[in-house]
Amino acid sequence: MNKFTCSILAAVLSLSTYSVLAATTESNTDDASALGTSETPQLIQQNRRTADRGSRHKDCMHKMKMNMKMMDTNNDGMISKDEFMTFHEKSSTI
């Protein structure tokens, strides 16, 4: 039984050593070899989405601010229900 346990342990150790060596070679194209760097495909894609979302968000916020200024017809800094309804009635007929 002792020889069997030693042979199993030796097999597991050699397989784990092989997997570590295979994962750390420079020719490896697996994503895990670049963990901790900014060159992983997941981080590159995430950066693209985040940058795009930021510009879309800014555009949307700018449009919303412009609409708010156009709604406030008496320039008191507040939008009344009448100003809101008038603005949306005009914009829905266009």
CA angle 38, 44, 48 (to 5 degrees): 135
**φ, ψ of residue 70 in degrees (nearest 5):** -70, -30
DSSP string, 9-71: HHHHHHHHHHHHHHHTSTT---GGGGTTSTTSHHHHHHHHHHHHHHHHHHHHHHHHHHHHHHH
CB 22 within 8 A of CB 28: yes
Check residues 55 and 20 and name the one with the higher pLDDT. 55
pLDDT level of residue 22 (50, 70, 90 thresholds): low
For the whole model, what pTM was predicted? Answer: 0.39
pLDDT of res. 37: 63
